[in-house]
Amino acid sequence: MALQHASPGQVIALSPYGSQIATAKSIALFKSEDLEVMRLVLLAGKEMPSHRVAGEITIQCIEGSVEVTAENATHVLRPGHLLYLSGHSLHAVVALEDASILVTVVLKRTAGQGGAPA
């Protein structure tokens, strides 16, 4: 079964999960040619190991708190905080407490895919 992404013009609720966060799942909200947006759920102590993506990214904390290590610095994100990272930045995320975060990734296209050279 294919994952259903949001359609253009569709409203997406991003309210905190609150007491239901323990059973919430990470989901891809939408993906277009240029942009991907995901809501990730990380329970306390869980992590996303160090990795890179080609495009710029933002990480916005919706609830809980996470520690993001990137570009030779460590940042604690709490609700309402947003972190911008440049493309190819090595980064890792660790949940300090049960958390949900909104991750936006700019997708880099090559000239053969209709975009400018990367």
pLDDT tens digits for the chain (118 residues)?
A: 345 678 888 888 899 999 999 999 999 999 989 999 999 999 999 999 999 999 999 999 999 999 999 988 999 999 999 999 999 999 999 999 999 999 999 997 654 444 444 4
Domain ranges of the chain: 33-109
Q: Please give the CATH topology (third level) of the domain spanning 33-109.
A: Jelly Rolls (2.60.120)
User: How far is the C-alpha of 75 from the C-alpha of 58, rounded, in Å?
Assistant: 13
Tokens of 78: 């709490």
What is this structure's pTM?
A: 0.85
Tokens of 28: 């891809």
